[in-house]
Amino acid sequence: MTQKMNSRITVKEVIRSMNYNVKLTFSFYAISSLSRSMWMGSVLSLYINIFASGSDFFGLSENEILGITSAASGITMTLFVFPAGYFADKFRRDSILRLSTFIGVAGLLFLILGKSIVFILVSMLLWGLFNAFVRPTLESIFADSVESGYRSKIYSWAHLIREVAMAIGPFLNIGLFAIIGNNYNLSVLRKVMGIGFALSFVSIILLFLFKDDRALGKESEAIAEEVAAVNQEIKLGRLTQLDSKKAAKLIPYLLITGNVIIGIGAGMTIKYFPIFFKDIYLISPIAIQGIMGGTSLATGLLAVASQKASLKIGRVQTIFLAQYLATASLLVIAIYPPLGVLIPIFIIRGSFMNAAQPLSRSILMDIIPKHNRGKWNSIEAIAWGLFWNVSALVGGFLVGDNNYNLCFSITTFIYILGLVPIILLIPLVGKEREALERERKVENGSSLELAEVEENLTNTFKQSDGLIQEEKIET
């Protein structure tokens, strides 16, 4: 009987074995994502849209003002995210996280106490500054606390936690809307957002608890040449002629370029999906929350499934497949399909596009040295800071008076451009260390099983020969 190569490890044992900063990051992601999904997602977009309809802010329309508030956050993040990344590499990362908490609290207070568009703009400026310091610093200390070559699994779990929390938020909002009122009223929206604000304060306090001294050492250092395995079987001109060192230098630039392009496209549409559902399909607030929650839940589950698929077909190949399906789905949304088609297609678009993020980040952090991770994380944050929010401003002018199909069609074209850098990455990125170890175990296991079969057959033949000899003696 064949013995098992490895005993199964329980979930509790896995959690206990995790680094202190990893567990703390999971906790921050859970509470922060839950809170933001309750107040900062579709509810805030609806709140600003309705709030702007009752004000005369330089003669701008509601959607244009919504775009400007998004751009305010993006501009601040862009101005400070790279200096923040530099500081994260130069000084203690835990100290920068503690400093950022004061900025986050101030941003929330301006939004809670604000009574005009100006207050909302100041709040978004401060929130952009908060994210500028937190994002590259937190991502860097997280990467420093995960062993290189095994990041995709931890990153997919982190993404699952974020997305499940993002899914729970809208479902909690459904209950709140049912109790307070299922209508587009500023008073109702503000009360729903209030609980989200309280949870955001809790998540900000967690930033005080991170510790640089609890990060890993050499285990979390870059493994650039291991990641950059040029595949000669895939012929893409000069790319297949690069050695691993040159490929390792090119990979981060292609990844960031692809993320920037996708960020530009995403910013043009994401802010306007709740308004799209309200204006074109006349969907109620509760129904919108259900759609958003379902999308987040599907995204988290698909991220885990994508990580498992990447162990077989490769991380870049999985990223390309997911983003391709998301792009095709957005093209369907642009033609205003029936509601029964729209909802599943919308969930497919959001879940596939976002499910690729953990794989992209795992490649980037495997190939970037620890002392440069703050800078590179800040560069990537620009894709979702400047480009995402500025393109949201452009999206507001494209949508104008409910011209959503134009905005979605242009975004589809931008997504197609974003696939080009991913295609160029395919021959440059090898399989993850975890995937290679699994393949070796399968090969070794097969060899052991084959040896056992051969040994059993040999013993059987020996026993048969012995019986034949005995029969001959008896006769």
410-436 per-position pLDDT tens digit: 999 999 999 999 999 988 888 888 888
Using 50, 70 and 90 to split pLDDT, how confident is the model at 1? Answer: very low
Taking alpha carbons only, the member of 333, 341, 344, 347 closest to residue 297 is 347
With 0-12 / 13-18 / 19 or more C-beta atoms within 10 angstroms meaning exposed / middle / buried, residue 471 is: exposed
Section 343-369 average pLDDT:
91
Residue 338 pLDDT: 93
Reduced to 3 states, what is the DSSP secondary structure of residue 429? strand
Evaluate if residue 231 carries a pLDDT over 80. no
In sequence order, the 6+-apart residues with CB closer than 8 A to the CB of 427 are 230, 231, 232, 234, 236, 239, 240
pLDDT in tens, 292-342: 888 888 998 999 999 999 999 999 999 999 999 999 999 999 999 999 999
pLDDT band at residue 46 under the 50/70/90 scheme: confident
Question: In the prediction, which pLDDT does 96 show?
Answer: 95
pLDDT of residue 6: 43
The span from the CA of 333 to the CA of 345, in Å, is: 7
Structure confidence at residue 242 (pLDDT): 65
Residue 239 has pLDDT above 80, yes or no: no
The better pLDDT of the pair 340, 442 is held by 340
DSSP result, 185-237: -HHHHHHHHHHHHHHHHHHHHHGGG--GGGS-SGGGS--HHHHB---TTS--G
Q: In whole angstroms, what is the distance from residue 320 CA to residue 326 CA?
A: 10
Whether residue 59 is predicted with pLDDT greater than 80 in this model: the reply is: no
Instruction: Round to whole Å and give the CA distance between 134 and 115.
Output: 27
| More confident site: 417 or 449 | 417
pLDDT, one tens digit per residue, over 458-467 is: 554 444 444 4
pLDDT of residue 11: 61
pLDDT digits (tens, 9 = 90+) for 243-280: 677 888 888 999 989 988 988 888 888 878 888 898 88
Does residue 453 surpass a pLDDT of 50? Answer: no
Contact 222, 144 (CB under 8 A): no
Report the pLDDT value the prediction gives residue 309, as an integer from 0 to 100: 92
Q: Tokens at residue 155, please?
A: 């990153």
Between the alpha carbon of residue 437 and those of residues 283, 313, 322, the distances in Å are: 49, 14, 25
In the chain, % of residues over pLDDT 90: 36
Q: What is the mean pLDDT of residues 170-175?
A: 86
Residue 34 has pLDDT above 50, yes or no: yes
The whole-number average pLDDT for the span 39-63 is 77
Task: Tell me the pLDDT tens digit for each residue of 110-143.
Answer: 988 877 888 888 999 999 899 999 999 999 999 9
Give the tokens for residue 301: 């589950």
Rg of the chain over all Cα atoms, to the nearest angstrom: 26
